[in-house]
Structures are given as structure tokens and as C-alpha cells.
């Protein structure tokens, strides 16, 4: 796929004025905890990590506090989110200076070709959390996953978190936030924490599972579990498996989430 034909649409851009209140939403903390719990399974001493679509850096800061982590690069298209990333990094008195020193932010475009070039083949782990469903057209999601996967060293791990089967609610229930590259701007509380399923169950799915290209009510691209595995496979990520499935409740509606891992092919 050429980069020229699959630029994500402009409506991905986040309303930067909402960034500060977004940080306070409980679901942001809960999703970060789930992702970090999966990352911990594959960390090795001296790990360099790319958190693509890092938002305000909630997961990145949790990762930087781990002794095995050498550095965390948080990349995002939103100036407001990156502003919160830097503000929170500097404001926390609880975080040690050596933890703060591990954190770096990077502003990217929606089609991050040039910005990620210096990082190709340099990361032990990459993370994309709740980004892919917000990328339109669908091919743009595949392109971004490939570019992020290219940052992995051979044998490095890819962690992908996404809504499973779309977001089952209508846009009129929202709080006025523009839907962005994976940041869920809605208020709710999470339950069923840590219900892990499918450990070690490898997937070898090919393209075309009969689901078709679906859109949720709010315009999200809908991905089913096998399609997410296929997304990683097309980016050269092998040995994919479902690490965790969980739910959170938003406006009395259960939203299903899934975290998948895989390994960059060793050439």
C-alpha cells in the first residue's frame, strides 16, 4: 500500500482543549493498567519501548517506573495530549528523576513516515492502544501498524489493544469530544478487571474472514478478534495470541476490549 493513498482523515485530530479533562477519566487509568500488565510479561532488562498514540502518557509513565525499562518514547498527533504528557512528567513529585529521564515525547503526523524513520529497528517493544479503530479509511490502520512494527528489533514484541467488535453506542451519548486516534473520550467505569483468556493460543488467520468492513455507530472501524490478528500478521508480526479480554461499562453499555501480542519476524 502506498503512503500516498491511505492518509487518515483530518477528523482524527483531537480537540486539544479537552486534553486536561481527558487525563482525569478513570477509564484512561484502567485501560493503561491492563495494557501494562500484558507488557510486563515480555519485558527484558534494558527494554526500549515505543508507545504510539500515547495520549497523556498514563501507560508510558507506568512503564518508565519499571526497572526493566530503559526508555519510553510516547508518540501522538495531539499537541494537547503531548502537553499533558510533559506537564504530568514534570509535575509529579512522587516520580523519581531517573523515571522522568526515561520518558520522551514525539509529535507525529497522522501518517508518521518521516517521524518514525529514526526509530526503525530500534525498539524492543511497541504498543498501540485504542488507535486503529479511529483510523479511516481502513487501509490507513494497516499502514500505521506496519510503520510502527518497523520500529521493532527482530524478535521484539508488539502489543495491540483495541475495542473488540466496535463500540456499541451512538454518538449522541458522547460528551462533545472529537473522536481521535484511539483516545476514548467518554465517561464510565470499568469492571471485570483482568479476566485473562486465551493465553498461548496462537492464531494463524488469513485475510477475509467474512466479517466485511463494518463501522460502529460513532464511525469507528470495527475489528473482530481474527481481523486484529491478521492486522499484525500483515505487518510481519508472528506468533500472535490473545493476551486478555475485558469489559468496561459506559453509559450502562458494556464495551468489550482485547489485548493481542506478537513477535517481529527474525529475518
Identify the pLDDT of residue 183.
39
* For range 245-262, the mean pLDDT: 88
> What's the chain look like in SS3?
CCCCCCCCCHHHCCCHHHHHHHHCCHHHHHHHHHHHHHHHHHCCCCEEEEEECCCCCHHHHHHHCCCCEEEEEEEECCHHHHHHHHHHHHHCCCCCHHHHCCEEEEECCCCCHHHHHHHCCCEEEEEEECCHHHCCCHHHHHHHHHHHHCCEEEEEEEEEEEECCCCCCCHHHCCCCCCCCCCCCCCEEEECCCCCCCCCCECCCCCCCCCCCEECCCCCEECCHHHHHHHHHHCCEEEEEEEEEEEEEECCEEEEEEEEEEEECCC
Identify the pLDDT of residue 22.
78
127 touches 180 (CB < 8 A)? no
Of the ranges 20-34, 90-104, 157-171, 231-245, which is most confident? 231-245
The domain ranges of the chain are 16-167+219-264
Geometric angle at alpha carbon 218, from 215 and 223, rounded to 5°: 35
Class of domain 16-167+219-264: alpha beta
pLDDT-derived band of residue 214, with 50, 70 and 90 as boundaries? Answer: low
- When the pLDDT of each residue in the chain is averaged and rounded to a whole number, the result is 80
Identify the pLDDT of residue 225.
96
Residue 195 has pLDDT above 50, yes or no: no
Residue 172 has pLDDT above 70, yes or no: no
The CA distances from residue 208 to 3, 229, 238, in Å, are: 22, 12, 18
Which of 173 and 237 is assigned the larger pLDDT? 237
Amino acid at each position: 500500500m502506498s503512503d500516498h493513498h491511505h492518509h487518515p482523515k483530518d477528523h482524527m485530530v483531537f480537540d486539544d482543549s479537552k486534553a486536561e479533562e481527558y487525563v482525569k477519566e478513570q477509564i484512561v487509568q484502567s485501560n493503561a493498567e491492563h495494557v501494562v500488565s500484558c507488557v510486563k510479561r515480555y519485558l527484558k532488562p534494558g527494554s526500549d519501548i515505543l508507545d504510539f498514540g500515547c495520549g497523556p502518557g498514563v501507560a508510558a509513565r507506568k512503564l518508565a517506573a519499571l526497572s526493566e525499562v530503559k526508555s519510553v518514547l510516547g508518540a501522538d498527533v495531539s499537541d494537547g495530549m503531548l502537553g499533558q504528557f510533559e506537564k504530568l512528567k514534570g509535575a509529579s513529585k512522587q516520580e523519581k528523576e531517573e523515571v522522568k529521564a526515561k520518558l520522551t515525547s514525539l509529535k507525529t503526523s497522522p501518517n508518521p513516515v518521516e517521524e518514525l524513520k529514526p526509530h526503525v529497528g530500534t525498539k524492543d517493544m511497541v504498543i498501540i492502544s485504542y488507535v486503529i479503530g479511529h483510523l479511516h479509511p481502513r487501509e490507513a490502520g494497516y499502514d500505521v501498524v506496519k510503520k510502527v512494527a518497523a520500529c521493532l528489533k527482530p524478535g521484539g514484541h508488539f502489543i495491540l489493544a483495541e475495542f473488540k467488535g466496535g463500540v456499541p453506542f451512538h454518538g449522541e451519548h458522547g460528551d462533545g469530544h472529537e473522536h481521535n486516534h484511539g483516545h476514548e473520550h467518554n465517561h464510565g467505569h470499568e469492571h471485570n478487571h483482568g479476566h485473562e483468556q486465551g493465553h498461548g493460543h496462537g492464531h494463524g488467520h488469513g485475510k477475509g474472514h467474512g466479517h466485511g468492513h463494518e463501522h460502529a455507530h460513532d464511525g469507528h472501524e470495527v475489528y473482530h478478534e481474527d481481523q486484529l490478528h491478521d492486522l499484525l500478521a500483515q505487518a510481519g508480526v508472528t506468533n500472535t495470541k490473545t493476551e486478555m479480554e475485558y469489559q468496561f461499562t459506559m453509559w450502562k453499555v458494556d464495551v468489550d476490549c482485547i489485548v493481542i501480542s506478537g513477535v517481529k519476524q527474525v529475518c
